[in-house]
């Protein structure tokens, strides 16, 4: 394997709005740099290795890879586009010297483009703008460049950052060009632009070692693996080092194995130098934000400030009548250990213990951030319950303030009225309205974060699935007053048993059912949504009584409307403050906090 010097290394991150093609472009960069053999079978979106990423088509965790192009090594970091995983983006940008900003030639600059670009500009990174998907119908690359330039100016880019090079590309086709009139061949123009415009890493190879840990991985054979960039000096296998914590404490450690990245693989090496992105094993208690330094000169590197969480949920041990039947890990100790383990790698997450040993308050950057954690845990065999998401209020200058989001919606003109009316009820203020393309209108709002809880499914219904909505945390403003929760009541099972067609047939006229026949239900479990505003208790286990007399139509089959099964995200959006989502590896159920109907009515009256 070649040992690269600092001058022969380039470190870049690929940043963009969600679904603008980052991971697909990285695939092509890997293929065209000769990382794979000609006959090697290569999957699509190779960097999205996690099952959830493959299913949702989004990047959740930032990934490292490296390509060798000529005599240069280019370390590439593929980052998430969704603001809920912004903590990932913020810390990995500390490892790079330049960013490739990818913008869709049709959609243009979107809310998360603004978010990731702001972070890169604050760190004074050199941007390269790639206008992607130029082969898409309706692409408008020249207009999009103007939009991007306006965004740079708005975000306070300096003169050098405003002189950004532009490359036109189609990541999927694996082609790029510098000017629109040029011929498309391969990604050589993009490789050349990266080499010419991204500086080699700064730092002195002769000085003592310093490396900031920005990502943690783990392996069942070697334990925790620390990933980061060597800021200065040289690091060797079996070297004794000092580990400096952000709180000023220092402890000793030893590097057992040392890896650099090559394509999608890690390769073991004897030493690495300034500018290299490396992985280290052997330090069992290493954490993100710590500095691995020379034992004789332990100096810490300041860590980037991660934006605070804006939403919190209560995670509790499952105490429903069906508790413990489907999960492998069901106790409060299991739940606590798993949440504490998540804190090691998920820097945007906060976990607080409460007075009750089986209840934890988990705070994150948004509903998607928390729902991905919940889905990951249930796939690992955990069984637990979660509450409705609540926003985290702050006191600013003596006033109670709440998180505000910038919401951008693209909707067909015919649905504009109902979207504006619903958002008005949720305390949204419209800030801009522009006509997009093909009969769509782009509406921009400032809306309290709690106004967005539970809105996505309503939005998709109101726009018949044709609307696109994106939101981004803006800041804190004084609380906007009450926002009504769900405007329809729940259909609640009256007794424990198995749902039957006869009981469901009598209930389906009252609203929409979430369960079909033959489903185990318990008293207090939510089995549907009512057409009216108040909750309705229904016996869905009720069987038809046999009698001696028969009417002419007695034996006609009862026709049931197919049940609407809610996904985890839809369930989290649906529940109100007196309800919980029960999460097990096999089932997602919704239930009332108080299962007994009499006790529930009494509590409602007292309220």
Mean pLDDT for the stretch of residues 559-581 = 86
Residue 359 marked in a binding site: no
Q: Which carries the bigger pLDDT value, residue 61 or residue 193?
A: 193
- Which stretches of 272-405 are DSSP H helices? 332-345, 367-379
- Which of 243, 214, 211, 239 has its CA nearest to residue 227? 214
Among the candidates 391, 411, 445, a domain finishes at 391
Q: Does 306 reside within a domain?
A: no
- Contacts by 465-469 with C-beta closer than 8 Å and gap 24+? 466/411, 466/412, 466/415, 467/409, 467/410, 467/411, 467/412, 467/415, 467/419, 468/409, 468/410, 468/411, 469/407, 469/408, 469/409, 469/410
- Which of 76, 65, 9, 1 has its CA nearest to residue 273? 9
Give whichever of 128-137, 235-244, 427-436, 521-530 has the largest mean pLDDT.
Answer: 521-530
Q: Please check the confidence at residue 57 and state whether its pLDDT lies above 50.
A: no
Instruction: Output the pLDDT for position 75.
Output: 83
Mean pLDDT for the stretch of residues 113-125 = 79
Cα–Cα dist 226/253, whole Å: 13
Give residues with Cβ within 8 angstroms of 470, minimum separation 6. Answer: 17, 18, 110, 111, 112, 407, 408, 409
Same domain, 384 and 284: no
CATH code where residue 131 lies: 3.40.50.300
Cβ distance 576 to 510 under 8 Å?
A: no
Among the candidates 171, 197, 223, a domain finishes at 197
Instruction: Output the pLDDT for position 438.
Output: 67
Q: Please check the confidence at residue 62 and state whether its pLDDT lies above 80.
A: no
Q: Please check the confidence at residue 576 and state whether its pLDDT lies above 70.
A: yes
Q: Does 299 reside within a domain?
A: no
Mean pLDDT for the stretch of residues 92-103 = 83
Residue 19 marked in a binding site: yes
The confidence band for 436, taking pLDDT boundaries of 50, 70 and 90, is low
Q: Does 305 reside within a domain?
A: no
CATH code where residue 461 lies: 3.30.70.240
Same domain, 163 and 185: yes
Same domain, 286 and 374: no
Instruction: Output the pLDDT for position 336.
Output: 93
Same domain, 565 and 452: no
Same domain, 187 and 250: no
β-partners of residue 287 are none
What proportion of the chain, given as a percentage, has pLDDT over 70?
85
Instruction: Output the pLDDT for position 131.
Output: 87
Could you give the 3-state DSSP secondary structure of residue 153? helix
Cα–Cα dist 8/558, whole Å: 74
Instruction: Output the pLDDT for position 547.
Output: 59
Q: Which carries the bigger pLDDT value, residue 335 or residue 366?
A: 335
> Helix-strand-coil percent breakdown of the chain, rounded to 5?
25, 35, 40
Give whichever of 153-162, 222-231, 489-498, 596-605 has the largest mean pLDDT.
Answer: 489-498
Angle at 274 between CA 244 and CA 189, to 5 degrees: 130
Residue 24 marked in a binding site: yes
Q: Please check the confidence at residue 403 and state whether its pLDDT lies above 60.
A: yes
Cβ distance 1 to 262 under 8 Å?
A: yes
Domain residue limits at 560 = 490-545+556-606
Q: Please check the confidence at residue 316 and state whether its pLDDT lies above 90.
A: yes
Give whichever of 37-51, 108-122, 156-170, 552-566 has the largest mean pLDDT.
Answer: 156-170
Cα–Cα dist 529/353, whole Å: 33
Among the candidates 294, 320, 339, a domain finishes at 294
Q: Does 269 reside within a domain?
A: yes
Buried b (16+ CB within 10 A) or exposed e, 218-231: eeeebebbbbbbbb
Same domain, 407 and 383: no
Q: Does 318 reside within a domain?
A: yes
Q: Please check the confidence at residue 364 and state whether its pLDDT lies above 50.
A: yes
Instruction: Output the pLDDT for position 264.
Output: 66
Instruction: Output the pLDDT for position 98.
Output: 87
Name which of 31-35, 137-141, 193-197 the model is least confident about: 31-35
Instruction: Output the pLDDT for position 523.
Output: 92
Q: Does 270 reside within a domain?
A: yes
Instruction: Output the pLDDT for position 314.
Output: 93
Cα–Cα dist 263/196, whole Å: 22
What proportion of the chain, given as a percentage, has pLDDT over 90?
10
Q: How many CA atoms lie within 13 A of 477 on its CB side?
A: 15
Q: Does 130 reside within a domain?
A: yes
Mean pLDDT for the stretch of residues 36-41 = 44
Q: Please check the confidence at residue 592 and state whether its pLDDT lies above 60.
A: yes
Mean pLDDT for the stretch of residues 212-217 = 79
Q: Which carries the bigger pLDDT value, residue 384 or residue 71?
A: 384
Q: Please check the confidence at residue 59 and state whether its pLDDT lies above 60.
A: no
Could you give the 3-state DSSP secondary structure of residue 80? coil
Mean pLDDT for the stretch of residues 18-44 = 60
Residue 134 marked in a binding site: yes
Residue 135 marked in a binding site: yes
Q: Please check the confidence at residue 505 and state whether its pLDDT lies above 60.
A: yes
Same domain, 109 and 191: yes
Residue 78 marked in a binding site: no
Give whichever of 55-64, 238-247, 328-337 has the largest mean pLDDT.
Answer: 328-337
Same domain, 192 and 232: no
Cβ distance 141 to 180 under 8 Å?
A: yes
How many folded domains does the chain comprise? Answer: 5
Mean pLDDT for the stretch of residues 306-327 = 87
CATH code where residue 531 lies: 2.40.50.250
Instruction: Output the pLDDT for position 36.
Output: 45
CATH code where residue 257 lies: 2.40.30.10
Cβ distance 451 to 426 under 8 Å?
A: yes
Instruction: Output the pLDDT for position 46.
Output: 41
Residue 172 marked in a binding site: no
Could you give the 3-state DSSP secondary structure of residue 157? coil
Same domain, 239 and 287: yes
Same domain, 54 and 84: yes
Same domain, 31 and 107: yes
Q: Please check the confidence at residue 42 and state whether its pLDDT lies above 60.
A: no
Give residues with Cβ within 8 angstroms of 383, minimum separation 6. Answer: 318, 323, 324, 326, 327, 328, 329, 330, 583, 584, 585
Residue 20 marked in a binding site: yes
Mean pLDDT for the stretch of residues 486-507 = 86
Instruction: Output the pLDDT for position 63.
Output: 55
Give whichever of 8-17, 117-126, 185-194, 525-534 has the largest mean pLDDT.
Answer: 525-534
Instruction: Output the pLDDT for position 58.
Output: 44
Per residue, the 3-state secondary structure of 22-47, as one string, reads: HHHHHHHHHHHCCCCCCCCCCCCCCC
CATH code where residue 318 lies: 3.30.70.870
Q: Does 301 reside within a domain?
A: no
Same domain, 335 and 285: no
Mean pLDDT for the stretch of residues 481-499 = 84
């Amino acid at each position: 394997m070649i040992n690269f010097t600092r001058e022969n290394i380039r470190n870049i991150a690929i940043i963009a709005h969600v679904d603008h093609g980052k991971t697909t472009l990285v695939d092509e960069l890997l293929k065209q740099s000769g990382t794979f053999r000609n006959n090697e079978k290569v999957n699509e979106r190779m960097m999205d290795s996690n099952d959830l990423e493959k299913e949702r088509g989004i990047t959740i965790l930032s990934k490292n890879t490296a390509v060798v192009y000529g005599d240069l090594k280019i370390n590439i970091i593929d980052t998430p586009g969704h603001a809920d995983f912004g903590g990932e983006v913020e810390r990995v940008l500390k490892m790079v010297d330049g960013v490739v900003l990818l913008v869709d030639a049709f959609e243009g600059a979107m809310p998360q483009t603004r978010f990731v670009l702001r972070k890169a500009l604050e760190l004074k990174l050199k941007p390269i703008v790639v206008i992607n998907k130029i082969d898409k119908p309706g692409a408008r690359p020249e207009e999009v460049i103007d939009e991007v330039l306006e965004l740079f100016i708005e975000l306070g880019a300096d003169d050098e950052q405003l002189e950004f090079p532009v490359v036109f590309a189609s990541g999927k086709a694996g082609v790029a060009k510098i000017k629109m009139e040029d011929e498309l061949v391969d990604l050589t123009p993009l490789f050349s632009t990266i080499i010419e415009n991204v500086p080699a890493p700064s730092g002195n190879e002769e000085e003592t070692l310093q490396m900031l840990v920005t990502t943690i991985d783990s392996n069942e054979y070697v334990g925790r693996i620390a990933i980061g960039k060597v800021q200065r000096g040289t690091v060797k296998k079996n070297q004794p080092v000092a580990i400096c914590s952000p709180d000023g404490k220092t402890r000793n450690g030893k590097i057992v194995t040392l890896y650099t990245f090559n394509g999608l693989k890690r390769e073991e090496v004897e030493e690495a130098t300034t500018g290299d992105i490396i992985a280290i094993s052997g330090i069992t208690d290493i954490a993100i934000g710590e500095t691995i330094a020379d034992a004789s000169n332990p100096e810490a590197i300041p860590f980037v400030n991660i934006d605070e969480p804006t939403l919190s949920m209560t995670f509790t041990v499952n105490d429903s009548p069906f508790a413990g039947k489907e999960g492998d890990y069901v106790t409060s100790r299991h739940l606590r250990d798993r949440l504490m383990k998540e804190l090691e790698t998920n820097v945007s997450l906060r976990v607080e213990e409460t007075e009750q040993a089986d209840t934890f308050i988990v705070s994150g950057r948004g509903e998607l951030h928390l729902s991905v954690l919940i889905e990951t845990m249930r796939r690992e065999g955990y069984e637990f319950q979660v509450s409705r998401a609540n926003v985290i209020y702050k006191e600013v200058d003596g006033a109670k303030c709440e998180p505000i989001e910038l919401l951008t919606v693209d909707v067909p003109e015919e649905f504009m009225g109902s979207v504006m009316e619903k958002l008005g009820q949720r305390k949204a203020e419209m800030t801009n309205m522009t006509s997009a393309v093909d009969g769509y209108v782009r509406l921009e709002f400032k809306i309290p974060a709690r106004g967005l809880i539970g809105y996505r499914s309503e939005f998709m219904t109101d726009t018949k699935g044709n609307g696109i909505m994106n939101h981004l945390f803006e800041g804190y403003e004084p609380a906007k007053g009450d926002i009504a929760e769900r405007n329809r009541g729940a259909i609640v099972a009256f007794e424990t048993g198995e749902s039957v067609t006869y009981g469901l047939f009598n209930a389906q006229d009252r609203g929409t059912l979430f369960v079909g026949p033959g489903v185990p239900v318990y008293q207090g479990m939510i089995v549907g949504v009512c057409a009216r505003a108040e909750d309705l208790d229904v016996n869905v286990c009720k069987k038809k009584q046999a009698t001696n007399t028969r009417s002419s139509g007695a034996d006609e089959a009862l026709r049931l409307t197919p049940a609407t099964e809610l996904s985890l995200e839809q369930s989290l959006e649906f529940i109100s403050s007196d309800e919980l989502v029960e999460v097990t590896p096999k089932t997602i159920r919704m239930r009332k906090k108080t299962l007994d109907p009499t006790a529930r009515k009494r509590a409602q009256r007292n309220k």
